[in-house]
Amino acid sequence: MTCDYFALAAPGVRSLQPYQPGKPESELRREYGLSDIVKLASNENPLGPSPRALVAVREALSDMARYPDGNGFELKTALAAKLGVSTAMLTLGNGSNDVLELAARAFLTPEYEAVFSEHAFAVYPIATQAVGATARVAKANPPDHAMPYGHDPAALLASINDRTRLMFIANPNNPTGTWLKTAELQGLLSDIPESVIVVVDEAYGEYVDPAADCADTLRWLDRFPNLIVTRTFSKAYGLAGLRVGYAISHPVVADLLNRVRQPFNVNSLALVAATAALDDVDHLQRIQALNRAGMQQLQEACRRLGLSWLPSVGNFLCVDVGRSGREVFLALLKRGVIARPVDNYGLPRFLRISIGTEAENTRLIEALTAVLQE
């Protein structure tokens, strides 16, 4: 090869580090020859998708030779009715990650900057760098804060300058599980210039206990036209494998997002599954109840083991294992348990553990106990 193709790539792409997903079960089987595996690494729904979604997918299989509805009419109509918004305010994505990318493509150029917090979701810097924009990372809360390693509104606000066009706020945040309370987030939005588009990523919103006072941003869209709220069907709705998410924003902002959206970015099976899942309230309530019980189970185990953890209103717990989180992760793999090291998020002593079924949680606890006692 005589041509330097690496040099031909855009500058942001040349230095980009790809997103690191949770280790798949198939990979662990190949590496260790294991068959009995528990995966608690990617914050997936341990109950799986709604039975209604499965029926809808089976019925749609015969139409796979046809392109999907590029506008997603049925899903948008169902979402609009559920959320109390206009369909003109909706943008569908191939997972909510896709919508985050759309926001970067629509509002960032090499002349502008995006702001997000330390220890925030890894897609924010990737989306920013891929379009050649500059990332400005705000300092997170200190370890002794009530929300350790969580977003600091004052630091986020101080990071804004004349070049800022976009701010990403995960609420609750992945991988920490921490969140901004209603007054904090509302105050921050009030102080941010209207020229800065604020993306509030609510991928874990369905898991949030109302008592936690995690902000309900949908009711603020009229007040803050620069606000984009993103959500997903990958987590509580159990459709991670089909990839479908969405954004709610001012109609003008939604129109701009839809202009850069790829045609048919949400496939036919995802569209019908998400529409059906949206109506299955019983299934959603079952996973919420399972998550509450599992969270308590893991926290009690951490107390017995003398481990601390970060506050979380998601479907995962970020645990300080008191040593290298990656070393503990590798030791757990040998026991057929997949968790998630978060050293790439600047948290080298932590493991992010997804909430599973009671049996899966028990397996994790037993394996973790054995590893820590070695």
Give the whole-angstrom CA distance, residue 57 versus residue 271.
9
Give the whole-angstrom CA distance, residue 276 versus residue 271.
9
Q: Is pLDDT at 178 greater than 80 in this prediction?
A: yes
What does the pLDDT read at residue 191?
98
The CATH label, of 3.40.640.10, 3.40.190.10, 3.40.50.2300, 2.60.40.680, for the domain at 51-279 is: 3.40.640.10
The half-sphere exposure of 248 on its side-chain side, counting CA atoms within 13 A, is: 26
Q: Which has more confidence, 9 or 122?
A: 122
Q: Is pLDDT at 143 greater than 80 in this prediction?
A: yes
Q: Is pLDDT at 272 greater than 80 in this prediction?
A: yes
Q: Please tell us whether the domain made up of 21-48+282-373 is placed in CATH 2.40.50.140.
A: no
Q: Is pLDDT at 220 greater than 80 in this prediction?
A: yes
pLDDT digits (tens, 9 = 90+) for 320-374: 999 999 999 999 999 999 999 999 999 999 999 999 999 999 999 999 999 999 8
What does the pLDDT read at residue 1?
63
Instruction: Return the domain boundaries, the chain.
Output: 21-48+282-373, 51-279
pLDDT digits (tens, 9 = 90+) for 274-283: 999 999 999 9
pLDDT digits (tens, 9 = 90+) for 107-140: 999 999 999 999 999 999 999 999 999 999 999 9
Q: Is pLDDT at 264 greater than 90 in this prediction?
A: yes
**Same fold? 21-48+282-373, 51-279:** no
- Residue 9 pLDDT grade (very low, low, confident, very high; cuts 50, 70, 90): confident
Residue 359: how many CB atoms within 10 A of its CB? Answer: 10
Phi, psi of 120, deg, nearest 5: -90, 170
Q: Is pLDDT at 16 greater than 80 in this prediction?
A: no
DSSP H/E element including 332: helix 325-333
What does the pLDDT read at residue 13?
82
Q: Is pLDDT at 314 greater than 80 in this prediction?
A: yes
What does the pLDDT read at residue 19?
72
Structure tokens at 159: 């990071």
What does the pLDDT read at residue 7?
82
Structure tokens at 356: 């599973």
